Structure 1
Amino acid sequence: MMIWFTADTHFGHKKILEYTERPFSSVEEMDEALIENWNSKVSADDEVYHIGDVGLCSPQKLQKILQRLNGKIYLIRGNHDKAAEACKDRFEWIKDYYELTMPDSEAYQGKQLIVLLHYAMRVWQASHYGTCHLYGHSHGQLPDDSTSLSFDVGVDCHNYAPINYNDVKRILKTKNWTPPQLRGD
């Protein structure tokens, strides 16, 4: 079983094509590409933390799309999730905020705390102790802060596909973050 993260799929949302300059000729092409990219990575037993804005379409259309996606999906609610909430049976749960603890032998005491919220934050629970924060909402338009253990996991930033925990770790290792106690502030 693998853990995956994504955000801002915006299934069924025609205007997202122009808002974010997605390289698809139609919303149908976008939806099919997102489904194919998702299922090429995520297996049936995997867990996916979708950090908001699943789709902007009718609940009936979104339900059909959700049924085609592999994995157990956990939804951290975004600002465009009314249709997703109407499909609540497809999600393991729906929350506004979540703190995920990942077993990780490379992390402090063998655990990595990951704060999941649709919106980017400058500070979060235990951020000064190495907790990381994954978000969406900004569609890659928010400049990355190389000194912060946070980044956008939205599809617009990751080849229109979910990323796994190993990808998260790889990206975090590129950050120039130093614990406050070692900075000499």
Structure 2
Amino acid sequence: MPHVYVISDHHFGHANIIDFESRPFTDAEQMTEVMIEKWNAVVQKEDKVFHLGDFSFLNKEKTSAVVSRLNGYKTLIMGNHDRGRTRSWWLSAGFDEVSEHPIVYGGFFFMSHEPMYMNKHMPYVNLHGHIHSQKYEGGQYVNVCVEHWEYTPVSFDTIKAMVVPSEEQ
């Protein structure tokens, strides 16, 4: 049975992110290779991955080359750094689906690039990226930026176990 994964903020090709976020890479090329390897170590070809934005700073040819090397059916929810390119650009770069807006998954999870406003009375959990190594307090937010997950897509089952009481799963 296929698995579902979530991840965000790879910033492929963005050399400055290494310094900005103290990433453990010597350069953008090493960062790209390690992150592709970590993705493919957990994601199989039949799995589904939701990428919550800020995927690549590379041109279309190089972005397509990265996307084609990544396992799984890939859905991009566009982030602030992705929005300079059109939805059709990302589809032609190899994503299977692209959304310009947050989506609701499983009737319970808001998946967005930027954290969304949530109060304690809202019966949802916000899976988000954008804030990199920072973290919002409370059980209604799960930051899926690569910095929190060792640059590896995190399974939806892992996220559900974190936020949904076991009797409700």
Q: Same fold (TM over 0.5)?
A: yes
2:142 corresponds to:
151
Specify which of 123, 130, 135 is matched with residue 128 of structure 2.
135
Is there any run of 5+ residues in structure 2 with no aligned partner, and where? none
Larger RCO, structures 1/2 (Cα 8 Å, 6+ apart): 2
Specify which of 91, 96, 101 is matched with residue 95 of structure 2.
91
Quote the offset at 1:83 in angstroms.
5.6
Distance of 2:164 and 2:30 partners within structure 1: 34
Equivalenced residues, count: 160
Indicate yes or no: 2:159 matched with 1:168: yes
Q: How does the TM-score come out when normalised to structure 2?
A: 0.87
Give 4+ residue runs of structure 1 displaced > 3 Å after superposition.
Answer: 82-85
Distance of 1:11 and 1:32 partners within structure 2: 10
Shift in CA distance, 152/70, structure 1 to aligned 2, threshold 3 Å: same
1:62-141 paired onto structure 2 within 5 Å = 62-81=63-82, 82=84, 85=87, 86-89=89-92, 90-95=94-99, 96-101=101-106, 113-123=108-118, 128=121, 130-141=123-134
Is there any run of 5+ residues in structure 1 with no aligned partner, and where? 102-111, 175-185
Q: How does the TM-score come out when normalised to structure 1?
A: 0.80
Aligned identity (percent) is 29
**SS of aligned partner of 1:128:** coil
Distance of 1:11 and 1:131 partners within structure 2: 30
Distance of 2:121 and 2:102 partners within structure 1: 19
Quote the offset at 1:70 in angstroms.
0.2
Larger radius of gyration: 1
Distance of 1:158 and 1:172 partners within structure 2: 16
Quote the offset at 1:169 in angstroms.
1.8
In 2, are the aligned partners of 1:8 and 1:137 still within 8 Å (CA)? yes
